[in-house]
Amino acid sequence: MGKNSKGAPAAAKRAAGLNKEPELAKVNLQDGSAIKRALDEAATEALTSSGYTEDHYVSNVKIAVSLLLCSLAATAQFWPQKYPQNWLVLVVCVVLYAVGTAGLSLFTSTAEGDAFLFLTSKNLGQAGQLRVTSQLPRFTYFYKLTIATTEAPAASSELSLDVTHFFTEEGILVRPKFETEVQYLLTSLRSKKGQ
C-alpha cells in the first residue's frame, strides 16, 4: 500500500517524460513575454484544430526576402574583385540591401503588426482570412486576444482574460480552460459575420 503511493508520482513523471507533452511545460511566471508566448501557442493550437489552417503567406514573404538580402550581402562580400575595382558591385548591393531592408520592415509592420497567426478556412464555408492578434502589456495581467476578418464583411471579436486564472502556481497552462475561451471567441466571431 505504502509502496504504491510512493510509486505513483514517480510513474506519472516517467509517463509525462515519455510523452514529452508540451502542455506540461512550465512557464516562468515572472516573464511576461513567456506567458504571452505560451498563450499564443495554445490559441494557435486551439484555432488550427477548429477547421482552420494556418496561412503562411506573411511568414513566407519574410523568409524569401531575408534570403534574398543575405544573398546580396554574400555577393558583396565574395565578389572576386577587390576594392576599388568592385565599387560598382558594392554600390548596387548596398543600395538594394538598404531598399530591401526598409521594404521588409514596412511590410512586417503593416501586414503583420501585432498578429501572431493568420488563418484561412478549410471547408466550413466561411470565406476569407482571419487575423489573430494578441497583447499582453508589461506589468499587467490582462491578455487581450482579437480575431478579425481581413476581408469584407469586416468583423472582429476580442477577449480580455486575466492570465492568473489560467496558470497554475508552478506555471503550467491549464489548456482546456483556455481553449474553451478561444472557442467562445470563435463562435462569437462567426455570429457577428452572420453565419
Partner 1 sequence: MIGAIKAQVQSTIDEFTSMNFRQLLLQGTNLGLIVTSALMIWKTLILVTGSESPVVVVLSGSMEPGFYRGDILFLNMGTAPVRAGEVVVFSLDGRDIPIVHRVIKVHEKSHEDLDILTKGDANYGDDRALYNPGQKWLQQEHIMGRVIGYLPYVGQVTIIMNDYPYVKYGLIGALAVFVLTSKE
Chain residues in the site for partner 1 (CB under 8 A): 22, 33, 37, 56, 59, 62-63, 66-67, 69-70, 72-74, 76-77, 82-84, 87, 90-91, 93-94, 97-98, 101
- Pairwise CA distance, residues 32 & 59, whole Å: 24
Give the shortest CB-142-to-partner 1 separation in angstroms: 21
Nearer to partner 1, 43 or 186 (CB): 43
Give the shortest CB-99-to-partner 1 separation in angstroms: 12
Evaluate whether 149 touches 129 at the Cβ level (below 8 Å).
yes
Nearer to partner 1, 58 or 159 (CB): 58
- Reduced to 3 states, what is the DSSP secondary structure of residue 27? coil
Nearer to partner 1, 11 or 92 (CB): 92
Give the shortest CB-116-to-partner 1 separation in angstroms: 11
Give the shortest CB-45-to-partner 1 separation in angstroms: 12
List, as one string, the DSSP characters of 110-132.
Answer: IIITTEEEEEEE-SSS--SEEEE
Return the DSSP state at 173: B
Nearer to partner 1, 93 or 189 (CB): 93
Count CB atoms within 10 A of the CB of residue 16.
12
Nearer to partner 1, 120 or 188 (CB): 120
Say what the alpha-carbon torsion angle 30, 31, 32, 36 is, to the nearest 10 degrees: -120
Give the shortest CB-78-to-partner 1 separation in angstroms: 11
Count CB atoms within 10 A of the CB of residue 74.
11
Nearest to 27 by CA among 19, 18, 37, 42: 37
